[in-house]
Structure 1
Amino acid sequence: MTEYAESKQDHFEGQMPRHVLSLSGGKDSAALAIYMRDRVPEMEYIFHDTDKELPETYDFLARLEAILGKPIVKTSPTDTFDHWLSVYGGMLPSNHRRWCTRMLKLKPFENYIGDGPVINYVGLRADENRTGYISTKPNIKAVYPFQEDGLVRADIIRILEESSLGLPPYMAWGRSRSGCYFCFYQQKIEWVRLKEQHPDLFERAKEYEERSLGFGEQFYWCRSESLAQLERPERVEQIKRNWEASEAKKRASRKNLALVETLGGLELEDDGHLRDGCLVCSL
């Protein structure tokens, strides 16, 4: 056991905890896994697979697994998204009713952990003002190595580049977060690009909306408009124009923009937008 791992065990008063790092398919948790690989060799890497992830996410995790040199355990829930959708009476998840996070991410995580002592490594950066709700079980102690060591976004990008893993491939076409392809925290420009990159997944997301009407509920992933409305050519062009104008305004207001932030779609990442998401899905 390394000196770093031993330093984290005081919380459990002599008990031998497991060291667990949850991966979302996002850049921060991937960078943390690489950062901790040699500092905590006994680390367990886990991924809560909802079966509704982007294909790019699975590819990214497979390449990360090769770099880590040990398997990433999938804590796949016994009951699928469609099962829980039925349990919840056809009520699709939203930011006000995040049963998807609870039943497909947190519950599998806690089932995997059990009741023994665990140190859970969370990829919150030093330049973020977010709190990390992962679990409230008393046997789990959350630690934040990036915050402890003062690592910020540029450091995370450097770790990924130096490891040869790079950024998650979905960022290249303009998606800012990991998680289910129909995540309700997506921006409208991300829905437009999902349709362009994965029209089949866009159609499945649209089908979920349409089926919800059969349960007596009118619910849209985008809250204010349906995907059928959003995909109309004139609406797509309007969304693109609005996004381009917003990005131009943000770029004009930022000084000393690093070159790396102008490449690979990183300018798409709106920290305020991401702050609203579920950390277990998007870190």
Structure 2
Amino acid sequence: MGTKVVLMEPKPVRHVLSLSGGKDSTALAVYMRDKVPEMEYVFMDTGEELPETYEYLDKVEAYLGKPIIRLNPDRPFSHYLDIYRGVLPDPRTRWCTRMLKIKPFERYVGDDPVISYLAIRADELHRKGYISTKPNITPVYPFIEAGLTKSDIYRILEDSGLGLPDYYRWRSRSGCYFCFFQQRIEWVGLLENHPEYFEKAKQYERFDALTGQSFTWNARESLDDLQRPERIQQIKEQYLKRNQQQTVKLHGSLTELFADEDEEVQSCLVCHL
């Protein structure tokens, strides 16, 4: 008697779009809403985000008409900081992205075949980032395929009525309040808009008396040094001088205060799109 062969039905392909709370991923969610009705929207919530991010996500959720699934890490940032012996994440290690963003996303999709929608624009083909490399996850780039650039992203957000998150008044990126990719002027913005978060970020910095090594968010200076009034004034003057010709008015009243920098280009895609 022969062996009966049972054919397994292939798993259906899932469509997943990760939102960071930033302009590009939000514009992509708006752009794809009616194109892929079965889209799953997720947000990797580290628990260390700005309040403006959560407020913006609530607005986006209402616009999309379906829930944005919040994915949380299995342990908080402080737990992993202990594991890494107090060594803060930096552009080379990025352990925060790996443990707080990538792993929750990979746990969520499991082994299902997934199409992951990424909001890299047609005007940033050079951009590199840190995303999942699991073989069952296939990335696609709708903005690149459609030839959409930064001006299109602003138009999509304006036409949708969502506009930009409030933190864009003083910050150029989404992500954790202590993100090491922040420019100095953005740390000043954090200090002036959320002094309690600035103090929390400062408490993570430390000096090891045994080795003489400093663990700071910025490689060149501590937040304690950065918050001195004379240093704040210097940072503001340098920033205004550097961006004198690059200030662009948006939406009639909103001003984009931050020019793209190499830091933004190499930043973690899952955090900052």
Give the TM-score normalised by the residue count of structure 1: 0.88
1:189 to 173, 185, 197: 185
Matching residue's letter, 1:79: R
Whether the 8 Å CA contact 1:185–1:276 is kept in 2: the answer is no
Question: For residue 272 of structure 1, what is the aligned residue in structure 2?
Answer: 262
Q: Secondary structure at the match of 1:268?
A: coil
1:247 aligned to which of 243, 249, 254:
243
The structural deviation recorded for 1:263 is 5.2
Show the 5 A alignment for 1:215-230. Answer: 217-230=213-226
Q: Please name the residue that 1:21 is paired with.
A: 17
- Within a 5 Å distance, the mapping from 1:1-283 to structure 2 comes to 16-128=12-124, 129-172=126-169, 174-210=170-206, 213=208, 217-250=213-246, 259-260=249-250, 264-283=254-273
1:272 offset after TM fit, Å?
2.6
**Match of 2:138, as an amino acid?**
K
SS in 1 for 2:177: coil
Cα offset, 1:219, TM superposition: 1.4
Deviation at 1:223, TM superposition (A): 0.9
CA offset at residue 131 of structure 1? 3.5
Select the structure that is richer in helix: 1
* TM-superposition CA deviations, 1:138-190 (whole Å, max 9, x none): 10110000000011111111111111111111002x20000000000000000
- Aligned residue for 2:41, secondary structure, equals strand
| Alpha carbons of structure 1 residues 76 and 158: separation in structure 2 relative to 1, 3 Å | same
- How much has 1:266 moved relative to structure 2? 1.8
Q: CA deviation at 1:92?
A: 1.1
Structure 1 residue 276, shift from structure 2 partner? 2.2
Structure 2 counterpart of 1:7: none
Say if 1:54 and 1:125 are closer, same or farther in 2 by CA, change over 3 A: same
Q: How far apart are the structure 2 equivalents of 1:80 and 1:245?
A: 39
CA distance in 2, matches of 1:123, 1:169: 20
TM score, norm. by length of structure 2: 0.91
Quick check: which has more Rg, 1 or 2? Answer: 2
Write out per-residue CA displacement over residues 213-269 of structure 1, whole angstroms, 9 at most, x where no aligned residue: 489641111110110100000000000000010001546xxxxx6x43885332413
Distance 1:123 1:215, change over 3 A: farther
Identity within the alignment, %: 56
CA distance in 1, matches of 2:110, 2:265: 29
Q: Per-residue displacement from partner, 1:15-58 (whole Å, max 9, x unpaired)? A: 52000000111000001001101100000000000111000000
Residues 92 and 151 (structure 1), Cα distance of their counterparts in 2 relative to 1, 3 Å cut: same
Q: Compute the displacement of 1:91 (Å).
A: 1.2
Conserved 8 A contact 2:205-2:217: yes
One-letter code aligned to 2:23: K
Secondary structure in 1 matching 2:122: coil
| Aligned equivalents of 2:257, 2:51: Cα separation in 1 | 22
Contact 1:182–1:221, Cα closer than 8 Å, also in 2: yes
Whole-Å separation in 2 of the counterparts to 1:132 and 1:169: 25
- Contact map agreement 1:34 1:159 (CA 8 A) in 2: yes
Gapped regions of structure 2 (runs ≥ 5): 1-9
Q: Quick one: structure 1 residues 184 and 273, their matched pair in 2 at CA, closer, same or farther if it must change by over 3 Å? A: same
- SS at 1:20's partner residue? strand
